Amino acid sequence: KKANMSIDRMNKISDIDDRIYGSFIEHLGRAVYNGIYEPGHPAADERGFRKDVIQLVKELKVPIIRYPGGNFVSGFNWEDSVGPKENRPKRLDLAWFTTETNEVGMQEFDDWLKEVDSQMMLAVNLGTRGADAARNLVEYCNHKGGSYYSDLRIEHGRKDPYKIKTWCLGNEMDGPWQMGHKTAYEYGRLANETAKMMRWVDPDIELVACGSSKMVMPTFADWEATVLTEAYDEVDYISLHNYWGNFDKDTESYLAGGILMDDFIKSVVAICDYVKAKKRSRKKINLSFDEWNVWYHTKESDKQIEHWLQAPPRLEDIYNFEDALLVGDLLITLLKNSDRVKMACLAQLVNVIAPIMTETGGKAWKQTIYYPFYYTSVYGRGEALRVSLECPKFDCRQYTDVPMLDSVAVYNKEQETVTLFVMNRSMEEDLEVCCDLRGIGADRCIGNVALEGYGFKAANTADCPEQVVPVHKPENILEDGHMRTVVSKASWNMYRFH
């Protein structure tokens, strides 16, 4: 079968906000303890941060990291995590039924962020707490000094404000599993009042309101419409969360999961713009897809974990080849929607549903999903370009008329490069592709990388960390301004041109 594509510099979707390559670290399982922080490990620095993990995170170029949760934040007292470590209380975390020692808190996490060249996206607790604790936290973090909480920060040894710009107004407040779960109206009112007060303390912050915690939530759409009706003027972004899983052992539908993401994003954009119209507002609300990933491998086994342990292994999904393909296509989907999706967080980053895994006391290694994230984050910066595409379609159990190919291109002005990302979702068909590149004036292919040819369930493990790695393919695929190549069935591909 054959497909035709063309790319043109004039076909711009948007400037990409680099924060689309964000990620997430929650006080959950071994993400923090025995993940990024393991004093006594041979690779730990003097503060207990694992240097091998720092290196792997740095390679991913993650510009922003959401912290400290997640469900965890909805029962979190931020005051427990600041000041001298010996005074910090141990608390029961009712989100994950563990014991939180608070050994790593605000200052330690900020120290670690500096090592990995990233910034904090800080979530406030709107579950068990509210506007008062949130505005005090903004004062503690961002006020220069001369007030109770800013002086407390200085007393804690941190003279300069953290200057945290991006704040999440709670987490998944639509979910009955959340501490302090609320109706859309209750949450919308609270988000509005909290946002107002936080911004009065620091007018330079940006605020993200909670949207739905997955597209199949029964409250989806009404939730967003109500929350935005209440809080439109005070917030800047609305969040989307969604996790994918091949629960039905139906790889064909699973590989088409980008369709759901696209549909979810477009629906939330429509709701934002509906509320905008209703309010006759000139302001545009953008999207923060601040939790997305594959999460299903450990859902059953995690139910057995004993309560109140400290940092037990949890949500340690081992990802396979089909998961990596889907993650690659979800990244393509985010880029195709980068006119409205300004931030996104791969959930999460280390050990907990993560591209990077560690053995306690042992190695750090890359999961299969590390690779599509790495290549897209490193080479997918600049302007997103729409790819014109003609290709065969197929039907599967979950979707009809699925285009076999999905694609987006990124133009980088400084480097004078165009990077083309292409996914072949078909499990059966290789596609002969001809891509017209005259509209970008490319004369050389400078990179051809693919994730292809592995068994769908092939995975990397600590002992065999390189079972699934990208292959580097020939670059002589460009002639007369056209790329001619075969895009293998079930593959994710990156082509770079100069």
Q: Give the range of 5-13, 65-73, 303-311, 319-327 binding ligand AHR by CB under 6 A.
A: 65-73
CA nearest neighbour of 351 among 382, 312, 377: 312
Q: How many residues bind ligand AHR (CB under 6 A)?
A: 10
CB of 70 to ligand AHR, least distance (A): 3
CB of 123 to ligand AHR, least distance (A): 9
Q: Is 186 a catalytic residue?
A: no
Q: Give the range of 63-71, 380-388, 391-399, 476-484 binding ligand AHR by CB under 6 A.
A: 63-71
DSSP H stretches of helix in 302-344: 321-336
Of 21 and 295, the one with the shorter C-beta distance to ligand AHR is 295
Of 70 and 328, the one with the shorter C-beta distance to ligand AHR is 70
Q: Which of 23, 34, 71, 298 binds ligand AHR (CB under 6 A)?
A: 71
291, 316, 322, 452: the catalytic one is: 291
Tokens of 205: 């912050």
CB of 497 to ligand AHR, least distance (A): 36
Burial class (CB in 10 A: 0-12, 13-18, 19+), 481: middle
Q: Give the range of 64-72, 77-85, 443-451, 481-489 binding ligand AHR by CB under 6 A.
A: 64-72
**How far apart are the C-alpha atoms of 196 and 463, rounded to whole Å?**
51
Of 314 and 496, the one with the shorter C-beta distance to ligand AHR is 314
Site residues for ligand AHR, 234-253, by CB under 6 A, read: none
**How far apart are the C-alpha atoms of 123 and 183, rounded to whole Å?**
19
Residue 93 as a binder of ligand AHR (CB under 6 A): the answer is no
Site residues for ligand AHR, 257-296, by CB under 6 A, read: 291
CB of 19 to ligand AHR, least distance (A): 18
x/- track of binding to ligand AHR for residues 343-372 (CB under 6 A): ----xx------------------------
DSSP 459: B
**Secondary structure class of 180 (helix, strand, coil):** coil
- Is 338 in contact with 17 (CB distance < 8 Å)? yes
Q: Give the range of 43-51, 67-75, 402-410, 478-486 binding ligand AHR by CB under 6 A.
A: 67-75
Site residues for ligand AHR, 184-213, by CB under 6 A, read: 213
Residue 323 as a binder of ligand AHR (CB under 6 A): the answer is no
Of 350 and 437, the one with the shorter C-beta distance to ligand AHR is 350
**Residue least distant from ligand AHR (Cβ):** 70
CB of 71 to ligand AHR, least distance (A): 4
Site residues for ligand AHR, 140-179, by CB under 6 A, read: 171-172
Q: How many CB atoms lie within 10 A of CB 95?
A: 22
Q: Give the range of 69-77, 104-112, 383-391, 405-413 binding ligand AHR by CB under 6 A.
A: 69-77
- What's CA 433's distance to the chain center, in Å? 30
CB of 171 to ligand AHR, least distance (A): 5
Residue 69 as a binder of ligand AHR (CB under 6 A): the answer is yes
- Is 162 in contact with 143 (CB distance < 8 Å)? no
Q: Which of 17, 20, 25, 26 binds ligand AHR (CB under 6 A)?
A: 26
Burial class (CB in 10 A: 0-12, 13-18, 19+), 322: buried
**How far apart are the C-alpha atoms of 114 and 121, rounded to whole Å?**
14
Find all residues with CB under 8 Å of 201, minimum gap 6, and list them.
135, 138, 139, 142, 143
Which amino acid is residue 296, in one-letter code? Y
Paired with 93 in beta bridges are: 98
Of 296 and 394, the one with the shorter C-beta distance to ligand AHR is 296
CA quadruple 398, 399, 404, 406: dihedral positive or negative? negative
Residues in the chain, total: 498
Paired with 403 in beta bridges are: 393
Q: Is 139 a catalytic residue?
A: no
CA nearest neighbour of 16 among 58, 63, 59: 63
**How far apart are the C-alpha atoms of 171 and 211, rounded to whole Å?**
9
Site residues for ligand AHR, 440-459, by CB under 6 A, read: none
281-306 in b/e burial notation, b at 16+ Cβ within 10 A? eeeebbbbbbbbbbbebbeeebeeee
- Is 332 in contact with 423 (CB distance < 8 Å)? yes
172, 230, 383, 429: the catalytic one is: 172
x/- track of binding to ligand AHR for residues 291-320 (CB under 6 A): x-----------------------------
**How far apart are the C-alpha atoms of 84 and 102, rounded to whole Å?**
11
Q: Could you list the active site residues? A: 172, 291
List residues binding ligand AHR (CB under 6 A): 26, 69-71, 171-172, 213, 291, 347-348
